[in-house]
Chains A and B, each alone.
Chain A
């Protein structure tokens, strides 16, 4: 047996993470419910829950659905912030329910939950995602290359790869687009997510479709609608600097350099 190679370091944060004996809290989840099969108008409904504050808002929604009201409807899948299913407005701000811990949204007061804005609500927290995905498709979100394919991989320097790294992180959750005041008022605006996905290809050194995409985004409903309110950057659960990406696309349109 080999000797220990280090002492396991212990911070207060680690001690807290490992602590036994959970301190449960009782709080209110205030959800904007909507089911046109039953009632034409949305209504706010309160649910009382007792949970570990280190659990996720998604866990709280599950607890309501599984123990109190099975009709509560929302989308969810991976439950750790990677699939993009559960973007919603939590205390008025767009977040992923699975990436938001109860303790971080002040459970002292009722935690409000409602569907993201700007897309038609179909039932409770479920919105119509079709316009969102249509805008994404409209920017040609795929590598465009002309000429013969190389036998092996295309070469790309680590620096060139880094140039568009930030926008490859997008999970298409719509948190950015549905936080944008321009999008709320003008459903034809491409919205931040589509521009982020255009950026991901415009600045990829392997891609040859930048001119086409820039022309698409030069449209009346394109990047120039952006009013730089930074809501999108704040809303992105992946930490993408969305507004910066939009600015870079604007600049590329002016300078035609990318």
Chain B
């Protein structure tokens, strides 16, 4: 076992982690631990843009953006946090441009902006051009630009280091424990502050836009240390994933004029969202698609998808503005989007919930108190700026605004305190986990359990949910968790043992799926991305509050989930009926 000492440790090297690292490295001795290489992170898969009220192409202001964010989140957004995000959005975009990000440009040479779902002029009057973009590669450009600037600032990366535990001593952050993929060695990183920026957890669904690697590692290990997870029942299903594969096709396609059509060729969104139509928020569009499919208007021999139609757009526009997604259609479906509509279905995309933080990125241990030295930013965190449904582009914004804030706050904290002593045998838990999996003589397969988990989540906890389906998912997950205790791996080696890590990741997915389902079962209302057919309306009296889920460990080692609730911060917007 090796022990390292850094002022600040950042876990994850996607957009939020690298944005934090750029700040933190200039202020404190920082190590970035990533289970991949930095540029492999899923920020790179984001396409459509990053909203900020630059008003480069038409009138706009940050207050309209804030309103859209709050409304888009179905009033579960903490409005103080949304105000900060939308105000700081403008500088966040300009910061990236100054770092070198090659944004698409207007005639006048300014950063170009385009329409995006749920982003409106003057509180819902009409769609507004707010999304700053670089073709349909905005996430790629952000990830590359941040990595380039990490190189510039000499950020110290530990690549292919899996963080498997968080060390807390006497209520304060003491460091993390990591597993080095190349050697199987365990490393303890003592740190004054730790920033979690380890991304999402979409791999508990089958049809998902998420990478294989998005297994909720940060959320799971924080949760197992007794800290709460907020609003985990709110998961976003992006309307336009490639049918059956789930590969993301940006909302920017509809921002450029793309239209959703059913088997009759009808532009069905006109019925569900008369003003915003295809640019209604994602939860609204995804439900509309499934309603079309359920009512027999789906496309194809099974009637199980709809079309994203770009055929009326000029090929030059598709080449310039949507080159990657049109290539995806050609590569994976063998169709030509100039002339064929693209078969799509909603795809599990984004966790609105996560590790609760305040606006400085400090992690909450209950409704009011923070864990000194512990920070989180990006999809792993819940500030909450996305509430019950995130608006398109606001995730790239979130990682930049709150990644930067968390990086600064963590480094500043590191420079004011001494190290918290490491607990005794700091690597004990991780060693036991790794040895247990390597030595297991069980007969259960990781891939089989994961497949069954994904199937039950897709059937029972996706766009439409009921008490009965969620109970079914809950029972299925409980059975899978039981089987997971007898899981075995084939690779017993120490060198690049990805078999072992897949087993660890599955454990994380199982824990988090259980939190999602239990939180969803208790929320007897419909709000944003959480739709209960047995409770189809929003209930602001009982449920305009955040879910806080805690793991309780009994004396015999068995675990259960305790739910608590936290009030929503409301500053200027009272809840209204949500129409697009």
Residues of A within 8 A of B (CB): 1-11, 13-14, 16-20, 35-38, 54, 65-67, 69-71, 73-85, 99, 101, 122-124, 126, 129, 133, 136-137, 140-143, 149, 152-158, 160-161, 164-165, 168-172, 201, 204, 206-207
Contacts and interface: CB of A to CB of B under 8 A. Distances in A.
A8 B212 CA distance: 34
25 contacts: A4-B264, A5-B265, A8-B263, A8-B341, A9-B311, A10-B340, A14-B340, A17-B334, A67-B447, A70-B499, A71-B493, A80-B247, A80-B332, A82-B44, A83-B45, A85-B40, A101-B332, A122-B495, A137-B151, A142-B100, A152-B94, A152-B110, A161-B105, A168-B102, A171-B140
B211 A83 contact: yes
A165 to B, nearest CB: 7
Contacts of B309: 6, 8
Nearest to A237: B331
Interface in B100-147: 100, 102-111, 134, 137, 140-141, 144
Given A71-B499, A85-B40, A153-B94, A4 B340 contact: no
Interface string B71-113: 0000000000000000000000110011110111111111100
Interface stretch (B295-303, B368-376, B421-429): B295-303
Nearest to B96: A153
Interface in B254-308: 259, 261, 263-267, 270-271, 299-302, 305, 307
A87 B162 CA distance: 22
The 3 closest A-B pairs by CB, nearest first: A143-B100, A70-B490, A66-B447
B495 A36 contact: yes
Contacts of A7: 265
A126 B102 contact: no
Contact of A84 (B39, B247, B300): B39
Given A143-B148, A171-B44, A122 B340 contact: no
A165 B320 CA distance: 10
B149 interface: yes
B265 A77 contact: no
Contacts of A66: 445-447
A55 B282 CA distance: 28
A161 B336 contact: no
B153 to A, nearest CB: 9
A78 B140 CA distance: 12
Contacts of A80: 45, 245, 247, 328, 332
Interface string B326-337: 001001111110
A85 B36 contact: yes
Contacts of A70: 446, 489-491, 499
A9 B341 contact: yes
A149 B93 CA distance: 14
Given A14-B340, A155-B108, A141 B151 contact: yes
B152 interface: yes
Nearest to B111: A153
B573 interface: no
A18 B301 contact: yes
A14 B495 CA distance: 45
Contacts of A170: 144
A78 B148 contact: no
B149 A142 contact: yes
A153 B97 contact: yes
Contacts, number: 210
Secondary structure at the A interface, as helix, strand, loop or mixed, is: loop
A143 B99 CA distance: 6
B472 interface: no
A10 B159 CA distance: 47
B169 interface: no
B551 interface: no
Contact of B270 (A2, A79, A81): A2
B268 to A, nearest CB: 9
A2 B271 contact: yes
B336 A99 contact: no
B45 A82 contact: yes
B393 interface: no
Contact of A204 (B100, B140, B331, B333): B100
Given A20-B301, A82-B324, A142-B148, 14 more contacts: A13-B335, A20-B302, A36-B495, A67-B447, A69-B490, A77-B213, A79-B211, A141-B151, A142-B100, A142-B152, A149-B98, A153-B110, A157-B109, A161-B102
Interface residues of B, number: 84
Q: Determine the main DSSP class of B at the interface with A.
A: loop
A2 B41 CA distance: 42
Nearest to B94: A153
Contacts of B415: none
A17 B266 contact: no
Contacts of B339: 9, 11
Contacts of A20: 300-302
Contacts of A126: 496
B313 interface: no
Kindly name the residue among A66, A83, A165 whose own CB sees the greatest number of chain B CB atoms within 10 A.
A83
Contacts of A78: 40, 42, 44-45, 211-212
B102 A79 contact: no
Nearest to A100: B331
Contacts of A157: 105, 109
A189 B41 CA distance: 27
Contact of B307 (A8, A156, A160): A8
A202 B103 CA distance: 17
Contacts of A129: 37, 159
Contacts of B332: 80, 101
A157 B164 CA distance: 47
Nearest to B149: A142
A207 B41 contact: no
A86 to B, nearest CB: 10
A84 B40 contact: yes
A22 to B, nearest CB: 11
Interface in B327-369: 328, 331-336, 339-341, 343
A122 B151 contact: no
B491 A13 contact: no
Given A65-B499, A82-B44, A1 B271 contact: yes
Given A71-B490, A73-B498, A168 B265 contact: no
A171 B446 CA distance: 30
B103 to A, nearest CB: 8
B334 A6 contact: no
A37 B102 contact: no
Nearest to A164: B102
Interface string B442-457: 0001110000000000
Contacts of A36: 495
A184 B341 CA distance: 44
Contacts of A136: 151
Contacts of B141: 168
Contacts of A1: 266, 270-271
A161 B104 contact: yes
A14 B341 contact: yes
Contacts of A81: 328, 331
B111 A35 contact: no
A224 to B, nearest CB: 25
Nearest to A5: B267
B312 interface: yes
